[in-house]
A and B are shown apart, each in its own frame.
Chain A
Amino acid sequence: KNEVEQSPQNLTAQEGEFITINCSYSVGISALHWLQQHPGGGIVSLFMLSSGKKKHGRLIATINIQEKHSSLHITASHPRDSAVYICAVSQSNTGNQFYFGTGTSLTVIP
């Protein structure tokens, strides 16, 4: 049983396309995180959100608490956006129970 499911697992897009990555979770959460893992392996935290929407540059993250769903959008995609995007959630009734999705591998072709 996976507490966090991401879709799609793999995604290939042409440069300039609008991209959406989805994350569904099955537990009550206190926060949801989007992480980016570069091809070299390093992991960077992109967003942390518990409601609504956040925007940073060409990246937008939304969350619907009632539907237990979050989306990460990339506008005007660029080859440098190629990476694995990971959704993670922490369960709301504890401070140390948290779950990661298996990631979405994005390739943006010039």
Chain B
Amino acid sequence: NAGVTQTPKFQVLKTGQSMTLQCAQDMNHNSMYWYRQDPGMGLRLIYYSASEGTTDKGEVPNGYNVSRLNKREFSLRLESAAPSQTSVYFCASSTLGRWSNQPQHFGDGTRLSIL
């Protein structure tokens, strides 16, 4: 029952460092998403991928890049980390290209701190 797996679970970076958050799902879902969750705010979409080979910006894409490596994997990269990117990051997936009509399955999150 793996579902959506995110790695790492915790990470501390220094300002300016780069890193990639990994996400994989084993449910044969077409769509995958990256969110960030900050205190006092709702989840906000960073990027999403409606299907293998496509990616689109969400509400807060600045400072991030993504790669849909294959149907299973969707990675999020911070090229030059900034303290404002300290957050909890969630990956999610759903069966079809349009999130609106399908429930999403979430990973356990990655807690990222930028010093």
Chain A interface (Cβ within 8 Å of chain B)? 4, 29-31, 33, 35, 40-45, 48, 86, 88, 90-92, 95-96, 98-103
Contacts and interface: CB of A to CB of B under 8 A. Distances in A.
B102 A48 contact: yes
Interface string B33-44: 000000011111
A98 B42 contact: no
Interface string B91-115: 0100001111111111111010000
Contact of B100 (A35, A40, A42, A90): A90
B40 A102 contact: yes
A96 B41 contact: no
A41 B48 CA distance: 21
B88 A86 contact: no
B43 A86 contact: yes
Give the bracket for the number of chain B residues in contact with chain A.
20 to 34
Interface of B: 40-45, 48, 50, 56, 58, 88, 90, 92, 97-109, 111
Nearest to B58: A96
B41 A98 contact: no
A95 B49 CA distance: 12
Nearest to A45: B103
Nearest to A47: B103
B43 A90 contact: no
Nearest to B38: A102
Nearest to A6: B42
A96 B109 contact: no
